[in-house]
Amino acid sequence: MKLYMSLNSPYARLVRVLVREAGCADKVTEVQVDPRDGSSGYWATNPIGLIPALELADGLVLSESDLVCRHIDDALAGGRFYAGVRRDARRAAALGMAQGILFRGLLARTDQMRPAAPDRDAFVARQLSAASRAADALEKTIEDHEGVDIVDIVFGATVGWFGFRHEAVGILQGRPKLTRWFERLDRRPAFSETRPG
């Protein structure tokens, strides 16, 4: 399998961490691409032009990080990374919250990169405020657990990316449970080997 990715993409990092945590890095070849460069040939592989994308042995290409992660989990890890989300609504809710924090952060980042529009600052502030509210909610509801699942992977990649792209937000500031959670994850090789920057 080939994983088309970028080193700083948080969505690609989700897959890269999962592959390492699953112990199947030898089965997935990482291919760095610039998804914005139409001359690279990547758009022929993945017409939507987003990363990550996973090319299977038969040439079929899966895009969207959640679909790619689910496929790898089912095909190479026996479904163990999504098992908790399937059987525990609290884990599913935590996954949704972590995904939402990343989504809001990416909306803000995308708007910051565009030429200034009259409402840009207000739009960015709304996105980052929503991410902070979600982090507050996660701080109140997250429960300790053993091991690593997809919730941990999404949360760790999200917080790592926020530290890289939105450092001033301080997504962990005043959130001791989230801080401990992130520190536990960030020490793991799968996370330390895939840090953005």
Q: What is the DSSP string of 68-87?
A: HHHHHHHHHSTTTTTHHHHH
The pair phi, psi for residue 152, each rounded to 5°, is -60, -45
Instruction: Give 149's DSSP letter.
Output: -
Question: Largest Cα–Cα distance in the chain?
Answer: 50
The pair phi, psi for residue 41, each rounded to 5°, is 90, -10
Q: Would you state the pLDDT for residue 197?
A: 86
Q: Would you state the pLDDT for residue 31?
A: 97
**In angstroms, how far is CA 3 from the centroid of its own chain?**
14
Q: Would you state the pLDDT for residue 145?
A: 86
11 forms beta bridges with none
pLDDT 10s digit of each residue in the chain, 197 long? Answer: 999 999 999 999 999 999 999 999 999 999 999 999 989 999 999 999 999 999 999 999 999 999 999 999 999 999 999 999 999 999 999 999 999 999 999 999 999 988 888 899 999 999 999 999 999 999 999 988 889 999 999 999 999 999 999 999 999 999 999 999 999 999 999 999 999 98
Instruction: Give 144's DSSP letter.
Output: -
In 166-188, which ranges are continuous DSSP H helix? 176-186
